[in-house]
Structures are given as C-alpha cells and as structure tokens.
Amino acid sequence: MLKDILEKNNKMILNKMVYIIISIILISYIFIFLFTNVSNAASDDFSQYPGYQELIDELKKEFPNSEFKILKTGLDWNQVIKNETTAHHGRNLTSNSSSDWICPVCKNKQYEKGWYCASSATVSYYMDPRNSLNANDIFQFEVLNYNSDIQNEEGVEYIISDCNYLQGKISYTATDGSKKTINKTYAQVIIEAGEEFNVSPYHLASRIRQEQGAGNATETATGDGKGTYNNGYAGYYNYYNIGATGSSTANIIKNALEKAKKEGWTDPEKAIVGGAEFVKNEYIGYGQNTLYLQKFDVDDSDGDLYWHQYMTNVSASKTEGQEIKNTYNKMGLGKDAHYVFSIPVFENMPEQRCELPGSNSIVTQNVEINADNVRVMDGKGEGNEIAKLNKGDKILRIELSQTLDPDGRFMRYWDKVVLEDGRKGYVVRNYLTQIDDITNCSEQYVVTAYTNFRNGPGVTNTTIIETLSPGQELTVIEKDKYPNVDGESWYRVKLPDGRQGYVGSGYIEKWDNSSSSEYDKVKVVDELGVKVRESPGTSSKVLTVAYQGEILTRTQKNASNANGYIWDKVTTSGGVIGYVARGDDNEDYIVPIDEENTVDDDIPSKNDQVKMESGNVICDAVSNVNTIVSAYSGAVVKDSSGKQITGKTNVGTGYTVTINNKTYTIVKKGDTTGNGITDSADILAIQRLLIGKGTLDGAYEKAADTTNNNNIDSADILAIQRFLIGKGSISI
C-alpha cells in the first residue's frame, strides 16, 4: 500500500516536473522568438532612411551570416555637415587640390604639407554612409571589438608584414641604453592587447601601421634616442603617436615621447598594450567603436560631438576599412564569416547619395563671347548643337574644365555655361572672356529653410556648393534673370565670405528690420567669444565658438533660462544652428545691431593710425598705447597677460582695448607673433604659413596682411622687409 502511494506520488511529481520543463522551454522559445523579432526589427529596418534598405539587402546576400545594426544618431544631416566643415575649418583634410575638393574659404591654405581643408561636397561624400554600403567599403562600419572567431595572429602578421620594426621577437633599447629582448613577437603582443581590452587586434595593428608607416618606424617608436628629434628619449616608445601634437616636427615628436615617459612605456610591449588601453578608454569605450565613428564623431556617448576625432584625413576610415577587408580575404574568411556592422543614419538626409566631387573648377562668373557663330553644345566635344552665339553676347559660366577635348584631336577646354533661358551647354574656352559681375540689385536677405547653394540656376546640371541653414544671411545681387528654371525663380546671391551662387527665391526672404521680424542680427562682444551649444544650458554640447566681433542671426529671443543665463537661438555665418548665452544681470555677451549704426564700429578714430573693424582695433606697425588713447579717449589697453599698460609702451597683436565699456582685440599690422614689434620673426611666421609649416589665426592672420588686400602672400613679406630697412611703412 505504501509502495503504491509512493509510486503514485512519484508519478505525480514526475508529471509536474515534465510539465514545468516543457512550460519553461515553450516560454523560452516564445521569449526568444519575440525578442529576436523585436531586435531584428529595431536593428535591421533601414527603410525609413532614403536609399539604405536596398543596399543593406544586397550586403546581406554578400555576407549572409553577418549582422547589420542601425545606429540612430538623431542628428540633422545638414547640421552635421556644417559642424564638420564651416564650424571648424581644418577638421577634415584632403590631399586632392582640385578646386571643388577643397574648401572655397580656405582655398589653397595647407594645414599640413600637401593637405587642404576639404569642401562641403567632399565631406558630404565621405560622410554619407550609403556611399560605403558595398562589399569593398563596408568594413569601416565593423564593430571594433575582439572577435576570436575571425581575428588571429596570422591576420595581424599580414597587416604588419611591411613594417620592419614589427617583425619577429621583440628586441629593444632600454632607458639605460642597453639592448634587451622579450620572448614574444610583436604580433603576439598585439593579439594579447586586443584580447585584454576587447579591441580588434586588426584595428590596433592598422592604427600602428598608419601612425608609423611601412618600412622603418618614426622617431616616436625607435627607442634609440639617436634621431634628429628623439635625442634624450632612449627607451621610450609610442607606437600610436598618442599626444603627438605641436606646431613643428620637433614639438610633435617631443610631446609624443613625453607622453610615453609619463605613461611608463619603456619597452615595445608596454607601449603597444598601453596604447591599446588608451584606444579602448578614449574611443571604443566612448561609443566610437567603428572606424567611421573615430573619423566622424557623430555619436554623443562621450558627451560631446565632432571634436573627438582621431583622424583628419577625410577618407581615412574608408581606406582603413579596405585594409581590414583585405586582411580577412587574405585569411580566407570571405563572405561566410560572422561580422557585426554598425551603420549610422541621420535625419533629413538627401534622397540621393552625395556625389564624389569632380575634377572641374566650380565657378559663378559672367563671360562674353569674343567671336561670331560660336556653337553651344549639349556635351563636351562634338555633340549636338543647342544654340549659336555671337560676339558681344553675355552669358554665365559655371564650370571651368580641367581636361582637354575628350576626343583628343584638339587642344581645347570645354567650359559649362548657362544660356539666357536657363539651359546648360558647353563652349570652347577660347571663345569666352571673363567680365565683371552683371548684377541688378544689392539687397539683404535671410534663408528661411534649408536650401542648396548652387553654382548656377536650376537643380539640373548645376553643382551643390553647400547647404544653407535657416537664419543664414546673404545679399541678393541679381534677381528676375532666371524666373522659371526647373519650376523655380533663381536669385544670384553673395555670402558674407564673398562666395557667389544661386538659390531658389522660395527659400529666402528680404531682411526686415522691424521689431516684429522673426530674425535680427546680434554681435558677439565678449572678449572670449561665446560657445554655440546644441541646446540651452552650460552642460549642453559645444558645437562651435563665435568669437568677438562675429555677427550672428538670432532666430529666437529668450529661448530659455538655464544656469543663470538667458539663452537665444542663433545661426552662425557658417550655418551652424545652436544656442548662446546672451548674458546675466551684470553683463552681455551678445548685443543687437542697429542696421543704421553697427555696434561701436562707427566710433570715428581721431587719427589715421587706428580704426575699428569687426570687433578689432586695427593699428599700424608703429602704434603704442598713446596712439590708441589719442584715437579713442578713455581707452584702456591691456597686454596679453591682462595687465594694463600706458604711455609709449608698444601694443601687440592679441592685446585688448576697452572703449565705452566694450572690449576689442588689437591687431597691430606686421606683428604676427604678438610681441609688440615687427621684426624678422614675423617674416618667418608668414613664410611658414605660405609653405604649409605653420598657421596664423584670428587677429594674427589679420596682422600678417600688411598690404591690406585680404590675402597673405610674398608681398606681405616684402612690405615688412622694406619697413625694417626704412624704405616703407605698414599702415592700416
């Protein structure tokens, strides 16, 4: 009886256990099913972003076992491009010197030897993820975490195979000058570092190779202390060139080795492992866990945007991604491996992918026909004739060809032109003579919605120079010339930096100075400038800095009160939209501009040696404190340390002067070094600028323009030379 009861109870218990187990399994399957579908829907649905989904679908066929995750930046595409270009020139560089590849503001200025500030079109092409959603370029979006399934020592060895300094067992120079060895290969150390910090060892190897190059290492990684610049730093290694900043090669190498010394990187293993930890902590751990995000800081996991970018080469993430792909191919991994890609998307992206800039020079200029019966063709070379022009006819030219006649039979350049009715065609350059701009007005307008600034009228067969933001100021210099091109009336406009182009009339409106106007102009008067932030509040991300004297368009007054400040919404002249602190109860950082009397810049000088101009007080090369005080009664001058100076004390570029409770930065013509005198050091500074070895910014750049032609060249050097030998003067 007891046995029967026990057997019955056991059966009941067993049945309950089976039921529970089955229930758990079913619930688990349901949970997994639901979670997987929710996860896939969240990570794989690119359909709401134009042009993504079809490219992702093709990549899934190419890499069937891989994951394609969506990274929603939440950022407006137009503002991203503004912040990567006009907000901070030199943030993205290109080695292509073609006119439509380089920034039209910086022009031929070299930020590094052979490297130019990239144009908005160039940055847009490389930043547009859709241009890299193909099997060759997708690896710039690969998540840079350690993946033992596809990453191994053989792959590292392949990446560093042409780096002489990373071959075989580690042999190095110690800090005492002795030779030592470590019983590991460089590839082993890189693998171990990647595993320890959960960073792709292929990324680490590629980063070292990029910083040190193929062949022999630079002086930041030889450790011998016998080079031109690393003398005294024997036994210190910095393979990743962390902290390698400065205005000269000597400074760059010294700072990198000082960083190594501070961190205790006294052998190659410590340097490679320590550098890997830095990459993890400063980039991958900050959300910048792809090559794309390390080049373009559009993920705000680090609490900031745009500033924290490892590379300046605008194409770096793309080319480094290709190197990683080649490594995988070399190892035979191919399309069946499991890769994880994180692909960014932006709000308000253009419907079409951003195009790669061409080789033609983009212009907006009037030309005159200098012969009769000149044919206008529908393409370069012998195509279809669309019009015939005669001597004296005036038309618009929008492209200067950089290549000769396509068929090679004639040494001719075909330039793109716009006819009176808006049609575009091509004319042999020999028949075109550039003439002065043909304009019919000069009226102040403001942009009311995002719109493209083009080199000619119409959306077809013209080039987008950049996208203008709501609130940007411009001057209309011609209207009613092209009243109906592609369904829009097109106005010729000039931006504050002098560039000309065309915008549709429906996206701009005439500036209204009335108090009821939606927009008004304000000027930055704080001597330290104001930070333009993403949202009101001192903890918000800084987008750019508007310096003293800069004019902003205020699009919303009293937008918020936060942290004890009144915040206004503004648009910078470069098109960056953000918020600035107007001030508190005691001081103002920005003030309104009366169109009839621009703030304080109309205060007349009492001598011809000093003048006010855009937030600066400009003086000639022989001015002292008395010169400025005699020009503006009651002026208080302070040197670069903030100490008040008086009498015949020399003033220097970068000093400040306060007039009527407003503070200005002094620009002393010829004094590019800020020491108060004009001498050979100023000549050297300009020479270094011209050969791309140095930079001059703000007041110092203005000081270098000794000929006052808004351009810095050899004539400015000559002016200083003549001044020093008493053969000439440097005036304002």
DSSP string, 342-381: EEEEEET--SSPPPPP-SSEEEEEEEEE-SSSEEEESSSS
So what CATH class is 520-592?
mainly beta
What pLDDT sits at residue 285?
76
Q: Determine phi and psi for 50, rounding to 5 degrees.
A: -60, 130
DSSP state at residue 118: B
Each residue's pLDDT tens digit, 195-218 = 999 999 998 998 898 889 889 999
CB 581, CB 524: distance < 8 Å: no
User: Is pLDDT above 90 for 105?
Assistant: no
The DSSP symbol for 448 reads -
pLDDT of residue 703: 95
Top mean-pLDDT range of 133-142, 509-518, 629-638: 133-142
Whether the pLDDT of residue 104 is over 70: the answer is: yes
As a whole number, mean pLDDT of residues 17-39 equals 36
Digit-coded pLDDT (tens) for 611-665: 988 778 999 999 999 999 989 888 899 988 778 899 999 999 999 998 876 788 9
Given a cut of 60, is residue 9 above it in pLDDT? no
Q: Is the pLDDT of residue 516 over 60?
A: no
How is domain 443-510 classified at the architecture level of CATH? Roll (2.30)
Rounded to an integer, the average pLDDT of 328-337 is 80
Q: At what angle do helices 316-330 and 201-212 cross, to 10 degrees?
A: 120
* Terminal-residue alpha carbon distance, the chain: 118
465: burial class by Cβ within 10 Å (0-12, 13-18, 19+)? buried
pLDDT at residue 13, rounded to an integer: 38
Report, as an integer, the average pLDDT of 594-608. Answer: 63
> How would you classify residue 371: left for phi > 0, otherwise alpha for psi between -120 and 50, otherwise beta?
beta
- pLDDT score recorded for residue 22: 36
Question: Do 298 and 73 meet the contact criterion of CB atoms below 8 Å apart?
Answer: yes
361-434 CATH choice from 2.30.30.40, 3.90.700.10, 3.10.180.10, 3.40.50.620: 2.30.30.40
The backbone torsions φ and ψ at residue 673, rounded to the nearest 5 degrees and listed phi first, read: -100, -10
* Whether pLDDT at 181 is above 60: yes
What average pLDDT score do residues 26-40 get?
Answer: 34
Check pLDDT > 80 for residue 565: yes
**What fold characterizes domain 610-724?**
Type 1 dockerin domain (1.10.1330)
Q: For residue 44, name the pLDDT band (cuts at 50, 70, 90).
A: low
Judge whether residue 43 has pLDDT over 90.
no
Q: Strands, DSSP E only, in 324-461?
A: 340-347, 361-369, 374-377, 385-389, 394-400, 414-418, 424-428, 432-434, 443-447, 451-454
Average pLDDT, the chain: 86
Q: What is this structure's pTM?
A: 0.65
Give the pLDDT band of residue 403 (cuts 50, 70, 90): confident
Indicate if the pLDDT at residue 428 is higher than 90. yes
Q: Is the pLDDT of residue 192 over 90?
A: yes
Q: Which residue has the higher pLDDT, 603 or 155?
A: 155
Token pair of 505 as six digits? 């009339």
Can you list the alpha helix ranges (DSSP code H) found in 200-267? 201-212, 249-263
Give the CA angle between residues 313, 314, 320 to the nearest 5°: 70
